[in-house]
Amino acid sequence: MSSLSNILQLGIKELRSLYHDPALLALIVFSFTLGVYSAATSVPETPHRASIGIVDEDRSQVSNQIINAFQMPYFLKPVDIDYSQIDRGMDSGVYTFTLNIPARFQQDLLAGRKPTIQVNVDATQISQAFSGAGYIQQIIGTEVAEFLKHYRAVTADEVVSVVHMEFNPNLISSWFGAINEVINQITMLSIILTGAALIREREHGTIEHLLVMPITPFEIMVAKVWSMALVVLAAAGLSMFFIIEKWLQIPINGSLALFLAGAALHLFATTSIGIFYGTLARSMPQLGLLIILTLIPLQILSGGMTPRESMPEGVQNIMLAAPTTHFVELSQAILFRGASLSIIWPQLLALVTIGSVFFFVALSRLRKSLN
């Protein structure tokens, strides 16, 4: 009971220290609010109010049909321009896209020839250039096909491929980006907060006060682990409810409680990593460098940014020792596919095993550093 009381009181002390650290508090708030929102919306997956100018040299039914197909909110109302205005308009940034529909375009279509429409793209508008060009090609292809149906028979394909999108029917990238950002922030902040808590003790000189008290390194470490993990877990839960579900309107298919339980096991491992780094680093800049060297490979190779199946087999096997690999897998299974405990229990077991190893390695290092 005395040991539990020490762990509780030391954890409360850590929470008070964090409360009086405005920089870390601001980092937590930003990471789970604007950080998540910007990750979801910074790169739009569809063009939005893109400006477009069209040179219509054909003035036919099909050219008019193509022009009328560009509508809000994807495109602004097309501007009728002449050929001399194409370069000038794109150089000045007036138009993101310009089209040149050649003369006799409809006549060539009906004659069975293959006329072309020139599409110019301002690639400096990187957020809309690639997706917008694809939309324009699709719109032109659809309108031309609809036009030709009225003039010639359309032969049915012998084999038709029908694709059904599961879990994300409209392929909205913000759904993936926002949830993946929450997963990444849980990992990053748990390492930073626990490492900073130990370095803060050393910089303020309070670590010496702890050493002269009847407190063991185990109690010191457990106190820092539970207090910082609780802060990150609470922030993640609030972010999932207020930012993901309410603000971004992203549906959560699975159990939020099960996700938080998996996050708690993940935090057991990552906070231990933070303690280990805190024993290696002598200052906050050193801690930051250690985190950068570790965090970026963890995020890239754990399956959060790219599928693990596309990585070399050796990398896949090595990353099985990282807690982020299993956490990303169970998080996506729960939040995207609505997986239950019967499906994700191998990942939970892996997190318990990896977390235990990291905990005792960090505890051993802490004891040596305090002695």
For 11-32, the DSSP string reads: HHHHHHHHHT-HHHHHHHHHHH
Domain boundaries of the chain, sorted by first residue: 2-42+172-370, 52-149
Compute how many other C-beta atoms are within 10 angstroms of the C-beta atom of residue 181.
22
Cα separation, 289 vs 191, whole angstroms: 12
Cα separation, 93 vs 214, whole angstroms: 70
CATH number for domain 52-149, candidates 3.40.1710.10, 3.30.70.20, 1.10.10.10, 3.60.9.10: 3.40.1710.10
* Alpha helices (H) in 205-308, listed in sequence order: 206-211, 217-238, 256-280, 284-301
Q: How many helices (H) and strands (E) does the chain have?
A: 15, 4
R_g (Cα) of the chain, nearest Å: 28
Cα separation, 190 vs 328, whole angstroms: 15
The model's pTM is: 0.76
The answer to whether 221 and 362 have CB atoms below 8 angstroms apart is yes
pLDDT in tens, the chain (371 residues): 778 888 898 889 889 988 988 989 999 999 999 999 988 877 666 777 889 999 999 999 999 999 999 988 888 899 999 888 888 888 888 898 999 999 999 998 888 888 899 999 988 877 677 788 888 998 998 888 888 887 655 556 677 788 888 887 777 778 888 888 999 999 999 999 999 888 888 877 777 777 777 888 888 889 999 999 999 999 999 999 999 999 988 888 889 999 999 999 999 999 999 999 988 888 888 888 888 888 888 888 888 878 888 888 898 899 999 999 999 999 999 998 889 999 999 999 999 999 999 999 999 988 887 77
Q: Nearest to residue 116, comparing CAs of 135, 96, 141, 133?
A: 141
Cα separation, 63 vs 5, whole angstroms: 79
Q: What angle (nearest 5°) sits at the alpha carbon of residue 270, between those of residues 269 and 275?
A: 100
Cα separation, 5 vs 115, whole angstroms: 81
Structure tokens at 187: 């990992």
Compute how many other C-beta atoms are within 10 angstroms of the C-beta atom of residue 124.
9
In sequence order, the β-bridge partners of residue 50 are 75
